[in-house]
Amino acid sequence: MKFLLIEDNQALADAVCARMQLDGHVIDHAGTIQDALAYSETGEYDLILLDIMLPDGDGRHFLKAHRDGKKDTPVIVLTARSQVSDRISMLDLGADDYVTKPFDHAELQARCRAVLRRKAGSAQTVMRLGDVAFDPVAGHLKVSDQTISLRNKELRLLELLINAPGQIFPKQKLVDRLFSYDDDVSENAVEVYIGRLRKHLAPSSLKITTLRGLGYRLDHG
């Protein structure tokens, strides 16, 4: 998954980014509303973590603009405000959940998983397609009764493909989803991970098809 963290406290941002990266997520960090708007306009994210008190304004203004723009990316608010009225106002503006500062990182990670499951319309973590069972939380792929542990980028790449079988993913879009803006990578890196996934999926009914000049597609059967 690819997250956007909007937080001006650098120490907290570094800690959150480190924990999310350990879970295999890609995360971009914006310290201001202006930077956050630039990231959200040019990037595609699975989840946004939003601080309220920011140097150039109130994070609720970003949230309102985000929802007014018809964007449905889930948003978890990080707030030091504990008043019930404050939390209700944020939920009314379109926040999917909130975490009160100071928070335990394990709680934040659990809240992220819960929001993402609700977004997918399921409380189940295991995804099934054909004769393949994929658990993105555990990082396991089961093919023909064989369980394979996936590396982080393999895991996130398969998660993208298996969520949209039949959809064409251009190389550049996969680069954008698998790597942060700070990563210095080329489209060739995607080819490496595609090759690894093909080997894992070889005994199954799933196939990653290359469409020259267009990108990649996960086919079933």
Report the CATH number that the domain containing residue 144 is assigned in CATH. Answer: 1.10.10.10
From 120, 142, 171, give the residue that closes a domain. 120
Residues 116 and 140 in one domain: no
Long-range contacts of residues 57-63, Cβ cutoff 8 Å, at least 24 apart: 57/33, 59/6, 59/33, 60/89, 60/90, 60/93, 61/33, 62/6, 62/33, 62/36, 62/37, 63/90, 63/93, 63/94, 63/95
Reduced to 3 DSSP states, what percent helix, strand and coil does the chain have, rounded to the nearest 5?
40, 25, 35
Q: Encoding tokens for residue 207?
A: 């196939």
From 120, 149, 177, give the residue that closes a domain. 120
Number of domains in the chain: 2
pLDDT of residue 82: 62
Residues 113 and 150 in one domain: no
Nearest to 28 by CA among 51, 47, 9: 47
**What CATH number does residue 65 fall under?**
3.40.50.2300
For 6, the 3-state DSSP assignment is strand
Amino acid symbol at 134: F
Question: Per residue of the chain (221 residues), what is the pLDDT tens digit?
Answer: 899 999 999 999 999 999 898 888 899 999 999 999 999 988 889 999 999 999 999 998 899 988 888 888 999 999 887 666 777 788 888 899 888 888 888 788 888 888 887 877 654 568 888 899 998 777 889 998 899 998 888 988 998 899 889 999 999 889 888 888 777 787 888 999 999 999 999 999 999 999 999 999 999 87
Q: By residue range, what is the domain housing residue 192?
A: 127-220
Residues 112 and 163 in one domain: no
Residues 175 and 69 in one domain: no
Q: What is the value of pTM for the model shown? A: 0.69
Residues 100 and 155 in one domain: no
Residues 14 and 111 in one domain: yes
Residue pair 93/64 in contact (Cβ under 8 Å)? The answer is yes
pLDDT of residue 102: 86
